[in-house]
Amino acid sequence: MSSVFNANLLAGQHAVITGAGSGINKRIAERFAIQGACISIVGRNAGKCEVAAAEIRALGGTAQGVAADVRDADTLADAFHQASDAFGPIDICIAGAAGNFVAEAATMSTNGFRTVIDIDLIGTFNTFRAALPLLREKRANLLAVSAVQSALPTATQAHVCAAKAGIDMLVRTLSIEWAARGVRCNAIAPGPVADTEGMKRLAPSGEASWRRLLSGIPMRRAAECDEIADLALFLCSGAASYINGTVIAIDGGQSNLGSQQFGDMLLDSLRET
């Protein structure tokens, strides 16, 4: 868990992170804990949240797991109250929970499309709304985990592209509505990230497919979770105190090339299965 930042940038702060039982969001949780924040890990799988929290405690950090599905606004609000009762007002809220699968729009069911909209877009709205009444006055940070698909139309990802584009506009709108409350609201938009559930679902098996995927990225490699965690840390720290309403791509330059290789590779991998 190496970081370019020194410890204690977030001393005494409370960060609530959805979907932090694994992957990028888990690494963000660990990174924020090392920087002195108390962490509430929210996810639909109680056991996974508690294991992730226990791992942070084992590193000397402070963390708790709180179970809730971001699709259920009432349960989520209860979970945020529970988190705040234990660790105090929320300084940082990260909407990281997401769902994805590879499917062509021509055959995807309405429920399949809706499921990703529900988890990603409505889940982000529910998350930020649950946090709002519990936010630390005058200096809170909201961060959404978007994706390159928000700006790059990508074959087999119609549901994800629509959901993530919605997240970007939600963040930009909230950055206007909630700025007077002292809330900053931003998003990060990663491209492929190594060793994550998302990549397991998206990345094809085999060297040739990987090479094809990476040929669409100027830096010719996927991101590391640590690199995503450092961007999240920067945006939620005082170093970014005047950054509000932005969506920052962290994709090795992929957005400058477009997503044709990515989409073609996903289409071919779908047709091969």
Query: Which of 40, 164, 259, 269 does the annotation list as catalytic?
Result: 164
Nearer to ligand COA among residue 100 and residue 255 (C-beta): 100
Tell which one of 181, 201, 211, 220 touches ligand COA (CB under 6 A).
201
Dihedral (CA of 32, 160, 264, 249) sign: negative
* Contact status, residue 10 vs residue 237, Cβ threshold 8 Å: yes
The single residue among 4, 60, 106, 111 that binds ligand COA, judged by CB under 6 A, is 111
Dist CA 136 CA 149 (whole Å): 32
**Residue 238 dihedral angles phi and psi, to the nearest 5°:** -65, -20
- Start-to-end Cα distance in the chain: 35
Q: What distance lies between CA 176 and its chain's CA centroid?
A: 21
154 lines the binding site for ligand COA (CB under 6 A)? no
Burial of 180 (0-12, 13-18, 19+ CB in 10 A): exposed
Segment interacting with ligand COA (CB under 6 A) among 55-63, 109-117, 244-252, 257-265: 109-117
Q: How many C-beta neighbours within 10 Å does residue 211 have?
A: 12
Least separation, in Å, of the C-beta of 89 and ligand COA? 29
Considering only 93-101, 125-133, 150-158, 177-185, which stretch makes contact with ligand COA by CB under 6 A? 93-101
Is 273 near ligand COA (CB under 6 A)?
no
- Region near ligand COA per CB under 6 A, out of 32-40, 99-107, 161-169, 252-260: 99-107
Rounded to whole angstroms, the Cα distance separating 9 from 127 reads 24
Q: Is residue 98 part of the contact set for ligand COA (CB under 6 A)?
A: yes
User: In 10 A of CB 238, how many CB atoms?
Assistant: 9
Contact segment (CB under 6 A) with ligand COA among 60-68, 75-83, 112-120, 236-244 equals 112-120
> Is residue 198 near ligand COA by the rule CB under 6 A?
yes
**Which candidate, 80, 24, 19, places its Cα nearest to that of 225?**
24
CA 118 to the chain's CA centroid: 15
Least distance (Å) from ligand COA to the CB of residue 191?
12
Task: Determine whether 146 is an active site residue.
Answer: yes
Among 36, 88, 89, 112, binds ligand COA (CB under 6 A): 112
Residues that bind ligand COA (CB under 6 A): 98-101, 103, 108-109, 111-112, 115-116, 119, 197-198, 201
Residues with catalytic annotation?
146, 164
